[in-house]
C-alpha cells in the first residue's frame, strides 16, 4: 500500500554520510524532510541538493531536519558533495543516506515493486520515480508527500512554504488559501462556529460566504 498523509513514517536504520541513523530517533521531537534523488553525479540532482543546502538555515529555524537519499553508496555521496559545493556555492552539511540495496526506497514506495534488489545494473529509466519528498511531523506521521519526474527539478521554496503552512495550521484553527505566503491572510476552518470564532478572532473577519471567512494570519 502506498504511504498516505497521516500514516506513520516507516522507521528504518541506514548508513549516511554522517554515520548510521535510526530514522525516528534521528527526527527526535522536531520535524523532518526526507527527500530522494535519482542518481549522484547527474545535472538536475546537483542543482537540487545545492539549493537545499542553501535553504538549510531556513529549515533549521523551523526545527526541521533534512536528510537526502539515493540508491548510490556513501562514498559516491561524499565525492559528489565536492561537485555540488563547487558548482552551486553551498556545501551539503545535512546527512545523505546511501541505499544501494533499495531498502529505504522500497519502504517509502519510491520505486516500482519490480525494481530489483540492488542498485547495480539499474538504468536511468528505472530510477525515474526516485525524486520524492516526505515532510514528517514530530509525531512521526507523514504530513506531505511529493513525487516529481526525473526531468523536472523540484521547487524547494514550495516545500518550505508547505512547512510554514502546516506548522501554522497545526497551532491555530485556520487553513491557508491558494498561493498563500507567510504573513498573508488565512481562512477560518469550517469546523469553528461563528460563536467560537468571535472568541478566537476578536478582531473579526471578512465573510465572502458563510463557509469562507478570511482573517489576518494569527500571531505566534
Quick one: residue 204, left, alpha or beta (phi over 0 = left, psi -120 to 50 = alpha)?
left
Please report, for the chain, the start and end positions of each structural domain, with discontinuous segments joined by +: 13-153, 172-215
Judged by phi (left if over 0) then psi (alpha if -120 to 50, else beta), residue 102 lies in: left
Residue 153 and residue 145 in contact, taking contact as beta carbons nearer than 8 Å:
no
Can you tell me the mean pLDDT for 51-76?
97
Provide the 3-class DSSP secondary structure of residue 8: strand
How much is the pLDDT for 102?
Answer: 87
**From the candidates 14, 45, 96, 215, which is the catalytic residue?**
45
| Topology of the domain covering 13-153 | Glutaredoxin (3.40.30)
Q: Which of 10-14, 122-126, 141-145 has the lowest mean pLDDT?
A: 122-126
From 3.30.1020.10, 3.30.365.10, 3.40.50.1100, 1.10.8.100, which CATH number describes the 172-215 domain?
Answer: 3.30.1020.10
Vertex 175, ends 155 and 35: CA angle to 5°? 30
- pLDDT (0 to 100) of residue 16: 98
pLDDT in tens, 146-182: 998 888 999 999 999 999 999 999 999 999 999 999 9
Is residue 64 among the annotated active site residues?
A: no
Report the distance separating Cα 198 and Cα 196, nearest Å. Answer: 5
pLDDT of 119 above 70 = no
Other CB atoms within 10 A of residue 156 CB: 20
Amino acid at each position: 500500500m502506498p504511504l498516505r498523509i497521516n500514516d506513520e513514517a516507516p522507521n528504518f536504520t541506514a548508513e549516511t554520510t554522517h554515520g548510521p541513523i535510526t530514522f525516528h530517533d534521528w527526527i527526535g521531537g522536531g520535524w523532518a524532510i526526507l527527500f530522494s534523488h535519482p542518481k549522484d553525479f547527474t545535472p538536475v540532482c546537483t542543482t537540487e541538493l545545492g539549493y537545499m543546502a542553501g535553504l538549510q538555515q531556513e529549515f533549521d529555524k523551523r526545527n526541521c531536519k533534512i536528510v537526502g537519499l539515493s540508491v548510490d553508496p556513501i562514498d559516491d555521496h561524499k565525492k559528489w558533495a565536492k561537485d555540488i559545493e563547487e558548482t552551486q556555492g553551498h556545501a551539503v552539511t545535512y546527512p545523505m543516506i546511501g541505499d544501494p540495496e533499495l531498502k529505504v526506497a522500497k519502504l517509502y514506495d519510491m520505486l516500482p515493486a519490480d525494481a530489483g534488489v540492488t542498485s547495480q545494473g539499474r538504468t536511468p529509466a528505472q530510477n525515474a520515480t526516485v525524486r520524492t519528498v516526505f515532510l514528517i511531523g514530530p509525531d512521526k506521521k507523514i504530513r506531505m508527500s511529493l513525487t516529481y519526474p526525473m526531468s523536472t527539478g523540484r521547487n524547494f521554496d514550495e516545500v518550505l512554504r508547505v512547512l510554514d503552512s502546516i506548522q501554522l495550521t497545526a497551532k491555530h484553527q485556520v487553513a491557508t488559501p491558494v498561493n498563500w505566503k507567510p504573513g498573508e491572510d488565512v481562512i477560518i476552518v469550517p469546523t469553528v462556529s461563528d460563536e467560537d470564532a468571535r472568541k478566537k478572532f476578536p478582531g473579526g473577519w471578512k465573510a465572502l460566504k458563510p463557509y469562507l471567512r478570511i482573517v489576518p494570519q494569527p500571531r505566534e
